[in-house]
Amino acid sequence: MTDLTDEAIAKRVQEGDTESFGVLMQRYEPKLIRYARKFLIHAEDAEDQVQSVFLKAYTNIHSFDASRHFSSWLYRIAHNEFINYIAKRQRQPFSFFDSDTVFPHLFAKETADSGVREEEIRNSLDACLGKLDAKYREVLVLYFYEELSYAEIADVLRIPTSTVGVRLARAKAAVRKLYAKE
């Protein structure tokens, strides 16, 4: 079973082999929890929402088109669930940004105060990210943390691939500009 593609397993689930859905859950649970933590901050919220994603995916497995990528379909469900969850709660700052991702050479690795400086930088960047539009935060998370390609992000967000590149460039520029003000 582990040598089958995600799409083949999903097709088996559609054909009535409901036990196979567990394989998909094993493959995607760690990824979706990481993705959720970037948006939802609290681990318990992330795990609950990932379970909701799997429940919704299982319930709607017959709407999956096996000629497409299962991962994009599942991430789209996750995207919608997380956005809906955030909308239900009051807007909270997102704490998911690693300073090394956008500013890889911002500070020396081994200085006496590097731990303190890194923490200060991360806090400043988190504050900056809280000021970004959700569409820019989202592209940053999907690209840098979930390591999705532009095409996969486009499929998840249902936007053109060129728009992904534009949003990513604008997001990086906005973070740099906001960080400079901090």
- Determine the topology of domain 1-91 in CATH: Rna Polymerase Sigma Factor; Chain: A (1.10.1740)
Tell which wins on pLDDT, 76 or 105.
76
Mean pLDDT of 66-72: 91
Mean pLDDT of 71-84: 91
Break the chain into its structural domains and give their ranges.
1-91, 93-182
Judge whether residue 165 has pLDDT over 70.
yes
9-35 confidence digits (pLDDT tens): 999 999 999 999 999 999 999 999 988
pLDDT band, residue 93 (cuts 50/70/90): very low
pLDDT score, position 126 = 66
93-182 to CATH, choices 3.40.50.300, 1.10.10.10, 3.40.30.10, 3.40.50.880? 1.10.10.10
Tell which wins on pLDDT, 105 or 134.
134
Q: Which residues lie below 8 Å from residue 112, measured CB to CB, with a gap of 6+?
A: none
Judge whether residue 92 has pLDDT over 50.
no
